[in-house]
Amino acid sequence: MENFSNVVKKSILNISPYIPGKPIEEVKREYGIKDIIKLASNENPLGPSKLAIKGIKKKLKELNLYPESSVYYLRKSLSEYLRVKEDMLMFGNGSNELEQLIAETFVEPGDEVMFSSLSFVVYSIVTDITGGIPIQVPHKNFRHDIDRFIEKLSEKTKLIFLCNPNNPTGTIITKDEFEKLMQNVSQKTIVVLDEAYFEYVEDKNYPDGIKYLPKYKNLIVLRTFSKIYGLAGLRIGYGIAAPDIVNFIERVRPPFNVNSLAQVAALYSLKDKEHVRKTIKVNNTGKKFLEKEFDKLKIEYIKSHANFIFVKFKYASKFVFEELLKKGIIIRPFFDNFARITIGTMEQNKRLIKELKKILEK
């Protein structure tokens, strides 16, 4: 077999492929278990809106046609919903694609890209794809250390990724911290505020990125329909930024990158406010239940502002992960004793706790 390591871009050699949460079908094949719950990828346990499903069914007969590349109807509806101009919106095959498009648009080899050392792994991947230099800022008690971010700013800093709430820890950057960073950042540095879990946050000290766009022209806000709207399988995310920034990113965006079913599902999801309210209620109730049960089991955890909880077991998280798999429960192990657990329905949460008790008793 040919070895192309001397042909491929050097920066690509640094990349470890992204490993998502273990799929349900894979667990079925490996363990022969039919009743499986997935609490690994922060998906909405209620599924998509019934209105979204209705919209998808209407669109099925048009699958022979390419989708509208301009995302016209969703753009118009989202513009009204967010109260921003249509030319401030951009759409991607999930917000992940937008993160890569942003890096491809602005980062040249040798430019520095800054992000927290304990945050979404895609930031590191898109940095390497573009040949940028990753500047990983150590976290402080599982939170973004904004003072360290400011210390590491340089003339080479081209891009900053801020995940808020942060994945995998669930912690937030406050309004004061965000303002402090932005006041120290050069206008030549693009700041990306990744708000994938925005809708779950209830803390008054949380900065709503869209409100800062008039003040900071170098700011990009990213959001998604994957989480609270339950459309992870269709892959659709969006960004809001100054029209000039959007225009440059549009030059890099591949045509037809958002499929027609995703567009119509997102459009109908925006109309179903009750589904969002129900999702938030289920999440808040489940979060309180899990925190209470974790306290009883003496499992350490980080207070979360999202739809997942970052926990620390007394044992290696991989051991707990594998033991839960045998019982048909999928969580997301991280380094050492840490793991991320998605908040499910109450039935799913109770099943998780029941099996965790058995594992810890062993």
| pLDDT of the chain, 362 residues: tens digit per residue | 467 777 777 777 777 776 667 778 887 787 788 889 999 999 999 999 999 999 999 999 999 999 999 999 999 999 999 999 999 999 999 999 999 999 999 999 999 999 999 999 999 999 999 999 999 999 999 999 999 999 999 999 999 999 999 999 999 999 999 999 999 999 999 999 999 999 999 999 999 999 999 999 999 999 999 999 999 999 999 999 999 999 999 999 999 999 999 999 999 999 999 999 999 999 999 999 999 999 999 999 999 999 999 999 998 999 999 999 999 999 999 999 999 999 999 999 999 999 999 998 87
Judged on CB neighbours under 10 Å (0-12, 13-18, 19+), 154 is exposed
Sorted by sequence, the CB contacts under 8 Å of residue 141 that are 6+ apart come out as none
Residue 236: what are its φ and ψ, rounded to 5°? -150, 120
Domains and CATH numbers, the chain: 20-47+274-361 (3.90.1150.10), 50-271 (3.40.640.10)
> Residue 108 has what pLDDT?
96
Residues 22 and 20: their CA atoms lie apart, in Å, by 6
> Residue 263 has what pLDDT?
98
How far from the centroid of its chain's Cα atoms is residue 78's Cα?
19
> Residue 49 has what pLDDT?
97
pTM: 0.94
Cβ-contact 332, 40 below 8 angstroms: yes
DSSP string, 268-312: HHHH-HHHHHHHHHHHHHHHHHHHHHHHHTT-EE---SSSEEEEE
Whether the ω angle into residue 45 lies within 30 degrees of 0, i.e. cis, is no
Judged on CB neighbours under 10 Å (0-12, 13-18, 19+), 14 is middle
| Distance between start and end Cα atoms, the chain | 47
Residues 210 and 347: their CA atoms lie apart, in Å, by 36
Helical spans, DSSP H, in the chain: 24-31, 50-59, 72-82, 95-106, 122-130, 146-152, 175-184, 243-252, 260-271, 273-296, 317-325, 346-361
Residues 286 and 348: their CA atoms lie apart, in Å, by 9
> Residue 287 has what pLDDT?
98
